[in-house]
Amino acid sequence: MTMNAISRSQIYVLDQDAALDFYVNKLGMEVNTDQDLGFMRWLTVNLPGDPEREILLEKPGPPALDPATAEQVRDLLTKGALGGYLFMTTDDARKTHEDLVAKGVEITDEPTERPYGIDFGIRDPFGNRIRIGQMFPRA
């Protein structure tokens, strides 16, 4: 047996409609799936042109978490202590940074040149950290 792709990642969000607004209208992602499963809303987004790699925007709760654990997760997320990480690439980190600043996105680290490329950090409305990088060609 051989694994051949990472198809879905998951981050917790407190409000799926607010998450949809942020990830689609501010970051430029596309809705992949928005399905009411009865026991939860399955809401995924993806980068344009990359529908095979989805990010599940999951609200803490059933079926994965019991109510007490879901409350603890919400508390930690709100404090910024539990936020997940996403890493994305761009062809122009400085221009992407300017665009996101203009849209009011919270910047946590300004664009900085590093040995691997130029990257910067942002945070979504729920405390999840996102790094956006313009990677240098590998030698």
Contact 60, 15 (CB under 8 A): no
Walking along the chain (139 residues) 10 residues at a time, the average pLDDT comes out as 90 97 98 96 97 96 93 90 87 98 97 97 94 93
Q: What is the pLDDT of residue 125?
A: 94
How far apart (Å, rounded) are the C-alpha atoms in residues 42 and 8? 12
pTM given for the model: 0.92
How far apart (Å, rounded) are the C-alpha atoms in residues 16 and 132? 22
